[in-house]
Structure 1
Amino acid sequence: METDLKMKLEQLHQRVDALKEQIGTEEATKNAFVMPFIQILGYDIFNPTEVIPEFICDIGTKKGEKVDYVIKRDGEPILIIECKHWRGNADAHNSQLHRYYHVSKARFGVLTNGHIYNFYADLEKPNIMDEKPFFTLDLSNLKDSNIKILEKFTKNGYHLEGILDSAEALKYIKAIRKEFEKELIEPSDELVKMLVSKFFEKPLTATRMIAFKEYTKKALATSINESINSRLKNALHINDAISQKPAVSVEPIDENIGSEEGPKVITTNEELEGSQIVKAILREHIPSSRIAFRDTQSYFGILLDDNNRKPLARLHFNSSNKYLEVFNQGKDKGEKKLLNDIDDIFNYKTELVDALKNYE
């Protein structure tokens, strides 16, 4: 079921990409993108007892207010869907959905622009839609974990209690992850004090706090890097020992650690994971010790023999779209490849090996 659902969603994504520039109205967005999505979930868009378009909701003194779609099961509404033009922000227009949700018996609401679907519930207060979605599906970034969640909203897989349990877990996991990612970038005083108190008995002066914040940041980055290395080794069945040279060098602590300027280059978890995928591909052809990494403000560079004149690839992960730049046509002819997911790097194994051949 999951494989079939993912395949259909991938086809819908291709359709959205191919047609979106020709879609000029919200109504056209609904017809071209949202109705096929409802069909993919298994609901009959031509059955007015199952999928009701332009469903009338009387909201207080406002009579005749309409919601774009209501999906019913056994005669009861289970999902209301509000649509926006495909260029619209699916996060910015939830006021109407809030009002519709209040007068509906449905437990779930969806706000969509045809390629991003935000799913809402009433986990905070009964019959009042939460401010933030508990689940977001982006057709351009389909993950297996998201497919499993979406399967619970299909006609054959729908289970109210199961979704509510998942919704609560997803909501708080998302919130915890957001806070954790903040700590990775800039550890808070609370986190530093908690960790340091386990082994450091002296008072934490302001100067020591600055130093320990930097130590904590580097310790977290190193730990995550090693975890990624281990995961990739297991996933790719790499049995030989990992090179003793670290994938990303950790620079010595700067004596001027309290300076206000701070580091300008921040290596992200995605860059670490992407670079290790490239390394795993190339180490089938050369010793891993010859593959070096250098992070810059503009890109994350992957070099042969730690030589700037021997670029193999670059990761451009600092914008909303992620790209792998490969140098299979020569060191001065980088070609960018759009990545929907970090695992897409595996699709360019041939190009990465060809880049290596430039220096043979």
Structure 2
Amino acid sequence: MADKINQLKSKIETEESTKHAFVLPFIHVLGYDAFNPLEVVPEFTADLGLKKGEKVDYAIFQNGEPIIIVECKSWKEKLTVHNSQLFRYFHVTKTRFALLTNGINYQFFTDLDAQNKMDEKPFLEFDITNLKENTINEITKFHKSNFNVDNIVSNASSLKYIKEIKKQFNAELENPSNDFTKLFANKVYAGRLTEKVVDEFKDLVQRSVSQYINDRINDRLNAALTKETIKQQDEEILPVEDENKVITTEEELEGYRIIVAILRRKIPIKRIVHRDTQSYFGILLDDNNRKPLCRLHLNGGKKYISLFNDNKNETKTAISSIDEIYQFEKELLDTVDIYESAIQV
């Protein structure tokens, strides 16, 4: 939707166009059929005492009752909840949720502060062209298949206060208040916190917090880069095999099943993967070529099994049949332990 909005918004001039181009597709994403009047009612009207005929842009229905009422603005307008029709409609319908949107910015409201009275501040607010993963998780709770009033309301309070706390924290980072500054200065400064000292500490606190955040970001980036480097090292480039010359035999597959039977008591079957080559039938841990469990050589005049020690040195042992693989149970389990202990370290 973000790409579509960015492409079209310069051509959208009116509120009505905003509804059709931006808002209705969002309602569709939530799983509701905008063309089914049992699910989405445009120009929804409710009785408001002596005041008749006022309408809200959309009402989303479930089981014959409105669950979300929607007021739309042009995408060019800033959202302001003051004088919104949502306030007037909220208390006369059975809905617990109201949505104010201009097709780009979305604000979800409920009645956390006073029952049946819409809050003045939204508990969920986002720009649909710049969604974060945690916001997407919250939006999915409004999907038709997930919608549960109690679950959303119980989480709305946390969302509301988290949003406000983040705003306050950001304000403190931009311009530390005296209280915020003293919170840290009291723990590191032994003298009396005069006005001059507090002013000096404001800069120190701001720089310290900024440096700490940058350090945390760098640590996470370095950890991610290290993990990616290890992954690339583990993905050893294999020689290209002529697939027409690689024929996996039933005996090789039976050997693989024996290996699985031995190792499944220690690791999940899905982690035991086979790769056939012209030279041998390899069995790997986690489909990682740097974690060979064993190799079976069954297509020549003699049969062999190759096992690996903690230095990944290969030992090739002759076997008369694949049934003898069971004799190497300890060695195979030890190989798994070697790889697993390396991961833990």
8 Å CA contact 1:16, 1:33 repeated in 2: yes
- Greater helix content: 2
- 1:63 is aligned with what amino acid? K
8 Å CA contact 1:29, 1:114 repeated in 2: yes
- What is the SS of the residue equivalent to 2:126? strand
Match of 2:194 among 159, 180, 205: 205
Instruction: Give 1:103's aligned residue.
Output: 92
Instruction: Give 2:40's aligned residue.
Output: 51
CA RMSD of aligned residues (A): 1.8
Q: Deviations over 1:242-295 (max 9, x none)?
A: xxxxxxxxxxxxxxxxxxxxxxxxxxxxxxxxxxxxxxxxxxxxxxxxxxxxxx
Instruction: Give 1:228's aligned residue.
Output: 217
Instruction: Give 1:72's aligned residue.
Output: 61
Shift of 1:138: 1.3
Shift of 1:20: 2.2
Instruction: Give 1:132's aligned residue.
Output: 121
- What is the SS of the residue equivalent to 2:108? strand
Instruction: Give 2:103's aligned residue.
Output: 114
Match of 2:23 among 25, 34, 45: 34
What's the % identity of the aligned pairs? 48
Shift of 1:194: 2.2
Instruction: Give 2:2's aligned residue.
Output: 13
Instruction: Give 2:133's aligned residue.
Output: 144
- What is the SS of the residue equivalent to 1:118? strand
Instruction: Give 1:301's aligned residue.
Output: none
1:221-300 equivalent positions in 2, closer than 5 A: 221-237=210-226
C-alpha distance 30-239 of structure 1, shift in aligned 2 (>3 A): closer
Shift of 1:55: 0.8
Is residue 149 of structure 2 the alignment partner of residue 160 of structure 1?
Answer: yes
- For 1:60 and 1:160, locate their aligned partners in 2 and report how far apart those are by CA, in whole Å: 27
8 Å CA contact 2:2, 2:130 repeated in 1: no
Q: TM-score, normalised by structure 2?
A: 0.63
Shift of 1:128: 1.1
- 2:135 is aligned with what amino acid? N
Q: Which runs of 5+ in 2 are unaligned?
A: 230-345
- 2:120 is aligned with what amino acid? E
Shift of 1:26: 1.4
- What is the SS of the residue equivalent to 2:217? helix
- For 2:101 and 2:228, locate their aligned partners in 1 and report how far apart those are by CA, in whole Å: 45
Q: Which runs of 5+ in 1 are unaligned?
A: 1-11, 241-360
Shift of 1:93: 5.7
- For 1:107 and 1:92, locate their aligned partners in 2 and report how far apart those are by CA, in whole Å: 16
- What is the SS of the residue equivalent to 1:198? helix
Q: Provide the aligned length of Structure 1 versus Structure 2.
A: 229
8 Å CA contact 2:81, 2:100 repeated in 1: no
C-alpha distance 239-29 of structure 1, shift in aligned 2 (>3 A): closer
The higher radius of gyration belongs to 2
Extract structure 1 runs of 4+ deviating beyond 6 A: none
Q: TM-score, normalised by structure 1?
A: 0.60
8 Å CA contact 1:94, 1:111 repeated in 2: no
- For 1:78 and 1:193, locate their aligned partners in 2 and report how far apart those are by CA, in whole Å: 47
8 Å CA contact 1:26, 1:84 repeated in 2: yes
8 Å CA contact 2:57, 2:71 repeated in 1: yes
8 Å CA contact 1:79, 1:110 repeated in 2: yes
Shift of 1:235: 2.5
Shift of 1:238: 5.8
Shift of 1:139: 1.8
8 Å CA contact 1:233, 1:239 repeated in 2: no
- 1:201 is aligned with what amino acid? A
Instruction: Give 1:215's aligned residue.
Output: 204
- What is the SS of the residue equivalent to 2:37? coil
- For 1:197 and 1:80, locate their aligned partners in 2 and report how far apart those are by CA, in whole Å: 50
Instruction: Give 1:287's aligned residue.
Output: none
Q: Deviations over 1:117-165 (max 9, x none)?
A: 1111111111111111111231210211111000000000112122112
